[in-house]
A and B are shown apart, each in its own frame.
Chain A
Amino acid sequence: MRFFFFHLMPYAPLDPDYDREHASAWVTLPNRYYDPEQGAELYNRYLDELEYAATLGFEGVGVNEHHQTAYGLMPCPNVFAGMLARRIPAPTKIAILGRALPLVANPATIAEEFAVLDNVTRGRIITGFVRGIGSEYHSMAVNPTESHGRFQEAHDLIIQAWTREGPFPFEGKYYHFPYVNLWPRPYRQPHPEVWIPSQGSSETIQFAAHPDRKYVYLQTATPAVMLFRFMQAYRDEAQRMGYQASPDQLGWSVKIHVAETDEIARREAKPHVEAFANKFLRMPQEMLLPPGYTSLESLKRIREAKKTITGSARTMEAMMEQGTFICGSPQTVIDQLADYQKKGGFNIVMAGLHYGTLPADLTRKNMELFAREVMPALRDAKPG
């Protein structure tokens, strides 16, 4: 099993009573709720945590992108990767999970930024490509009905920018540029490793599993039963396309809290993971799923399933029950990860060891216990 450390950088000091007046922590929550003094403190602490993770033996660290929200303070993930690039030495990788391709006017700028990071780190970055969640389409005024189309075309433009000799013209439906000519060219050949974080959609799975791409598929924010289904769907798709998928093409992003005993873990985690679920994730359906973001069929299915990953109160117990939060003693966590690996067939774990309002001391303890007690026990664990 391979381990990465993932940070979401929430604005932890958010006034928890904001929801008396505002329906969402995203897009429309006034930014006067952000205090730069506390924010500056937080940013430096969070960056320290990412650098600390590199010393604890994680294969890599991951940063993230969200706009105009208290949920996460990284609207520009490549800037954060840049801040870490010279501070985190080889061989530790830096994963940008993910860059939301449809949100920019010129996706070649994403290719540029990644290429710069790839050169400076001599090939240690992982480039995540995402569509961006629904709220980003409100924040950035990009048409959600074009989300899939723009993602595909932006992906093609970026891969071509990395691999074709420039200058060449790019003439697409959404993007037209007479000159695409990347300086620098990427360091890693043929290009940086591409991962596709996703909440689970058959189109995304098919896209990632295609033999021309074989992108690592990273499952996020999903109950265990769906996780196993999506992992199997990836393997089935690979099979259908004529090859056998490796477990290193599959990853799971999950929040984890380890403490000395199960009881201590639950007591420590409860207020902070519930703040994550109820205060930071909070957004109405109209924001999460704007029209056209998913197909009509998908939207109807989601509504029927009354999918409520946001908007309704969640308890730690419910999250543990459905497998979106792992919490316990080192042995409990080891057992659960091993069990999920057996059922899901993945080799990569993106460990969210900070979440919500988890304070600095508990974050460090969580990271240390995970790195010293859990990771060594599972290093040689393989699925199947």
Chain B
Amino acid sequence: MKRPLLIGDGIENPHNVRALGDAAALFDWSCGFRDRAGLAEAWEDAAPRWLEDEDLASRRPLLALENAPGASSLYGFRAGNLSLAGLIVGNERRGIDRGLLKRVDRCLALPMASRRVNTLNVAAAAAVSLYYLSRGGGGPIFRRPKPEKARPVLLLLGGRDHVELGSAIRSAAALGWSQAYVEDPAGVWFGCDRVTRSEGRGAARRGKNAIRLVPADGERRYPFDEACVVSTARGEPLGRSSLAGGPGQALVIMDEESREPSEDLSRLARRLRYIRIEAPGTPARSRFRLTASIALAEAARQVGIRTPKGRRGFRPPRYDRALTIAGDEGGEWVSLAQLAEY
């Protein structure tokens, strides 16, 4: 039986190749690549599946994930029957090939909240897209008068991989979080060696990522009312969970590769809620960046954007003829008759 296909167009980084494969496997999609840069020799150990033009021609609908003009929002997009669908993700720096972009049926984009960090890691973006496409689009993005009041506090329970943690931090900044608590028991982020630090910060795009990271130790107790712990293991479905509870709610994303699912997290909040990402497949490796990006994207969708004012925001001047009230000078009016009686 044919499965929908995730297509990497001109991917340069072999680590991203593996991560894309895991993202596709998470949602039971197959994964293939188009090599535009002649980097096959660099991918020897990644062993990707090479695609030809005929493979793409048979895919309908053929979708592209790209911040192109006229792209539709991923939130609420319904693709219909996905059994023959193809989703193209592009080169990390240059995006999808322009000739290929003209051949796609629809271009999709994930709405970003930040202007400085306006892209996700390619595998993280692919995972978010596959999550929404597999669910029939989910709902459109919420609109609120003050969306920042609905944004939960972010707590990342990191593991042993600094690149995964860095990509998760990049996703958090891109989707609107300005601060995050980070538990780093393995010491891959705070107080690490120079190479680890450099790679992690590079994955997080720290040069233009202004998110404030607060180190938190593993024994700390938090004063939150509710903690929503997101994983792929257990809990209520992510699509049915409310993740816009405001500053009293903590969105906790755990690195399942290095943390025990049964870890006691009652110290995080008065009330604990487990949330599961509905993913039918089983990847070779559970990647923190994929789980985190999907959870953050859903939380960002529920937090929403500010209600646009539109034409009602512009008010032409109005001029009143109203009762003129002089300054209050105190005292009291007394009539002549009252004065005579006094």
State yes or no: do A and B come from one complex.
Answer: no
